[in-house]
Amino acid sequence: MGKMSYYTDFWGMNYDICPCDVHVTDYLEARNVKDSNIFHFGTGTHHHVGIRCHENGSGNRVLGITASVEEAEAYVKLAIERPEVSKSYKAFFGDIYVLEPKLLPNFDAVALVHLCEFRAPAMDEYGGYTDRQLIDLFTEKLNPGGHMIFYTKSMAWDRAQPVVEAWAKDSGFEKTEEFKTLAIYRKNK
């Protein structure tokens, strides 16, 4: 069995290159999403989504995952320096492609902004999900009326878009809006 596939770098706040995390919080604020459980794929060392949801008074709770050791270490430092943020924001190190669904709560919004960016063939050796299986997992964890959020300017959107469109058709979701660089999907009623 191979070693876990992880990100050997880290991502700081580079808004001009990748504004997706800021756009996620802008979307949540613009749509008045409050007192909700949010899942966020790819925290960055900046941990913007978790910090912003704490600071803006929305009452949103954020669970983030990173496969970057540096980003996980940045969360540990954040939790030590600002424990009030860690009350409503938890981030953990791991491979999103091997999450155990029974360990996850349900969510009101799921931001899969890095879909198709990090899936590697080595993950097949240890039973990693495909990107489609990952969306399906979170579809099962999405509360009624919840939001699925994707990033249309992702470096892998050319691969992610057909996966998202096939999932939406098969699962009864429709794109309800485009918000800045994001595509928002919700289940048809």
* Per-residue pLDDT reduced to its tens digit, 140-180: 999 999 999 999 999 999 999 999 999 999 999 999 999 99
| pLDDT score of 123 | 81
Q: Which residue has the tokens 């009350």?
A: 87
Amino acid 131: pLDDT: 96
pLDDT category, 33, cuts 50, 70, 90? very high
Specify if 13 maps to a domain: no
Q: Could you tell me if residue 28 is inside a domain?
A: yes
Q: What is the CATH number of the domain that holds 101?
A: 3.40.50.150
Q: pLDDT tens digits for 91-146?
A: 999 999 999 999 999 999 999 999 999 888 888 888 899 999 999 999 999 999 99
Task: Specify if 10 maps to a domain.
Answer: no
Question: How many residues does this entry show for the chain?
Answer: 189
Answer yes or no: is 77 within a domain. yes
From 20, 10, 77, select the one nearest 44 (Cα to Cα). 10
Burial class (CB in 10 A: 0-12, 13-18, 19+), 104: middle
The pLDDT of residue 116? 95
pLDDT at 11 over 60: no
44-84 confidence digits (pLDDT tens): 999 999 999 999 999 999 999 999 999 999 999 999 999 99
Enclosing H/E stretch for 64 = strand 61-66
Residues 6+ apart with CB under 8 A from 63: 37, 38, 39, 40, 90, 91, 92, 104, 105, 107
Residue 107 and residue 139: Cα distance in Å, rounded?
A: 9
- The parent domain of residue 177 ranges over 20-187
Q: Fill in the DSSP letter of residue 68.
A: B
Asked if 137 and 115 count as a contact pair (C-beta separation under 8 A), the reply is no
In a domain, 156, yes or no: yes
Enumerate residues 6+ apart whose C-beta is below 8 A from 23: 151, 179, 180, 181, 182
The total of structural domains in the chain comes to 1
Classify residue 12: in a domain, yes or no: no
16-31: pLDDT as tens digits: 656 899 999 999 999 9
The percent of residues in the chain predicted with pLDDT above 70, rounded, is 90
pLDDT of residue 2: 60
User: What's residue 39's pLDDT?
Assistant: 98
Model pTM score: 0.92
Q: How far apart are CA 64 and CA 93, in angstroms?
A: 9
Angle between helices 157-171 and 131-140 (to 10 degrees): 40
DSSP 99: -
